[in-house]
Structure 1
Amino acid sequence: MDKRTTHFGFQDVPVEEKASRVADVFHSVAARYDVMNDLMSFGIHRVWKRLTIERAGVRPGHKVLDIAGGTGDLALKFSRIVGPTGKVILADINASMLNVGRDKLIDNGAGGNVDYVQANAECLPFPDNTFDCITIAFGLRNVTDKDKALASMARILKPGGRLLVLEFSKPPNPLLSKAYDEYSFRLLPRMGEMVAGDADSYRYLAESIRMHPDQQTLKGMMETAGLERVEFTNLTGGIVALHRGIKL
């Protein structure tokens, strides 16, 4: 691949165009994002996120960053855990998603311990050694330079802090993988058209999942970024994987 291009789904596009193209996708789907998540995963995404919160080890008084936090599922739970002495920052590169997340958290009673920041994961605008925990759920695959983003996350973690990456991955079972492909490329765009009026965005999401690094590759990328004791857990047969690393 030419150094000046990157993948947008199955297309090669100029590096400088990818962020705006991804932004267009999420501007389009923001209003129906939660509904589509429930439909696409048959509600199982809530179980995946609950496990992420359990593995995060967040406690009262902690400072937590949720990157690509979208509509705020993780941030809402974290705000209740860290309490009034803690702080949660919901960050997203996309203003539409951030606005939906802000409205959702306010409607659900999230208090003054949540801040909202529009930020690019590749150059996070926070000082070194700031956060006890960083999460990114279903967002890393949309980042142009994943290595740069992981290094940026590692930089702003406190020593002893944890990074958790929840992302679609590669099912090791070939039968499950084939069935998952059939679902992703045939049914998902149709659901996107019916529910969100946007088949193309959900076709891109299916393609972006296939272009994302597999479990072992992402583990190595996290280690290269400076994280230690990196491990992953396959969820729902490896359709999704939860990676966890610690900054020592």
Structure 2
Amino acid sequence: MTDTVSFGYEDVAPGEKTRRVGGVFSSVASSYDIMNDAMSGGMHRLWKDRFVRRVKPREGEQILDMAGGTGDIAFRLAKSGASITVADINPAMLEVGIERAQKRGFDGLVWTEANAETLTFPDRFFDAYTIAFGIRNVTDIPAALREAHRVLRRGGRFFCLEFSTTLWPGFADVYDAYSHHLVPKLGKLLANDEDSYRYLIESIRRFPDMESFKGMIAEAGFTQTKVEPLLGGLVAIHSGWKI
């Protein structure tokens, strides 16, 4: 791991990034889903539906949903009858998810505070590992990918949904202007937190492009790695298998 890592457009010490990211998500936890709707025009719901269809959860499977604190992915996965463990480093996000689960009647989910880089689960424990819009906030992404590989059984599958860089001519410029200028203002209006949403946008810009991240997944030990671009790569579904 390098001496510095990106926190938005800043380069900071690894421990500083972990601390600051924790502050961001503690700040936005209660308004996170409202802001997702505002930032994506509600499209994040469609992306998450498609993501879970790609995972193909099955009854009786053990699935780890990492960085899944608010439960959005876990609720979708749980409908299959799979056993879902929701892990998140941020207790405020977990509190939001647990409250939502109680209201929706999802009683069988397991909720645990965990760091993606240093999981305490045993080797070869899960059938699938999912992470949606969380990997770019991890301080040491290669370490998190290695941990994902470690906790998966042979034949286990890894799926990641994350913002990336759209390759559509013209659309990239429009989205860039929208995200940099309007999203922080929406954060101020809806969550009274402009700085946190400015970071979230900047973190997308600093995240590796689709092919680079696909290579990182392969370096962690996964095979048959694939990437499925959505909106030309504005969002991407990455996947791999442990054999």
**Which TM-score tier does this pair reach, normalised by the shorter chain?**
over 0.9
Does 2:182 correspond to 1:187?
yes
In structure 1, distance between residues paired with 2:114 and 2:135: 13
In structure 2, distance between residues paired with 1:56 and 1:173: 26
In structure 2, distance between residues paired with 1:177 and 1:78: 31
Question: 1:32 Cα shift?
Answer: 0.5
Task: Name the residue aligned to 2:91.
Answer: 95
Aligned-pair identity in percent equals 47
Within 5 A, what are the aligned runs for 1:59-98? 59-82=58-81, 86-98=82-94
Task: Name the residue aligned to 2:24.
Answer: 25
In structure 2, distance between residues paired with 1:57 and 1:205: 29
Local SS of the residue matching 1:185: helix
1:202-243 CA-to-partner distances (Å, cap 9, x unmatched) read: 000000000001100011000010111110111122110000
Quick check: 1:80–1:110 contact (8 Å CA) kept in 2?
Answer: no
1:57-115 CA-to-partner distances (Å, cap 9, x unmatched) read: 21000001100002101111222212xxx421011000100110111111110022x11
Matched length: 243
Does 2:165 correspond to 1:170?
yes
Task: Name the residue aligned to 1:207.
Answer: 202
Any unmatched runs of 5+ in structure 1? none
Quick check: 1:68–1:92 contact (8 Å CA) kept in 2?
Answer: yes
Q: Which residue type is aligned with residue 183 of structure 1? A: Y
Question: 1:26 Cα shift?
Answer: 0.5
In structure 2, distance between residues paired with 1:76 and 1:56: 13
In structure 1, distance between residues paired with 2:72 and 2:128: 16
Q: Which of structure 1's runs of 4+ aligned residues deviate more than 6 A?
A: none
Task: Name the residue aligned to 1:144.
Answer: 139
Task: Name the residue aligned to 2:53.
Answer: 54
State the TM-score, normalized to the length of structure 1: 0.96
Does 2:44 correspond to 1:45?
yes
State the TM-score, normalized to the length of structure 2: 0.98
Does 2:152 correspond to 1:157?
yes
Question: 1:174 Cα shift?
Answer: 3.7
In structure 2, distance between residues paired with 1:64 and 1:139: 16
In structure 1, distance between residues paired with 2:20 and 2:102: 29
Question: 1:173 Cα shift?
Answer: 2.2
Question: 1:3 Cα shift?
Answer: 3.3
In structure 1, distance between residues paired with 2:20 and 2:38: 24
In structure 2, distance between residues paired with 1:93 and 1:187: 28
Any unmatched runs of 5+ in structure 2? none
Local SS of the residue matching 2:182: helix
Local SS of the residue matching 1:123: coil
In structure 1, distance between residues paired with 2:97 and 2:19: 20
Aligned residue among 120, 130, 146 for 2:115? 120
Task: Name the residue aligned to 1:11.
Answer: 10
